[in-house]
């Protein structure tokens, strides 16, 4: 069980690193004037994935949503269906490990 928590945390950390690299790649392409719109889309998708996975992980740990994102504009609320999908994926991983231990 504890190893799954660590794996999920490491996956989020790696996703955050990849996101920083992607953002810097887009910014460097903007500075040089080359076409970087595909990088902008990739950055957006990575941000969305990270945000929703982070919310799912925090909710599984018992943190109320209001503490995870204290101020969210009405038009920028997370897709709770996607959060639930990630929560179900994480819960399946926890159950898989707990079934192996029995």
Kindly report the pTM of this predicted structure. 0.86
Q: Rounded to whole angstroms, how far apart are CA atoms 80 and 78?
A: 6
Q: Rounded to whole angstroms, how far apart are CA atoms 39 and 88?
A: 29
Interval 1-52: pLDDT, tens: 578 889 999 999 999 999 999 999 888 888 888 777 788 889 999 999 999 9
């Amino acid at each position: 069980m504890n190893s799954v928590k660590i794996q999920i945390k490491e996956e989020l950390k790696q996703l955050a690193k990849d996101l920083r690299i992607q953002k810097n790649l887009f910014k460097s392409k903007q500075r040089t004037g080359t076409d970087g719109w595909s990088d902008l889309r990739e950055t957006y998708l990575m941000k969305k994935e990270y945000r929703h996975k982070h919310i799912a992980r925090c909710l599984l740990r018992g943190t109320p949503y209001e503490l995870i994102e204290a101020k969210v504009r009405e038009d920028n609320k997370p897709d709770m269906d996607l959060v639930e999908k990630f929560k179900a994926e994480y819960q399946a991983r926890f159950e898989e490990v707990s079934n192996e231990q029995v």
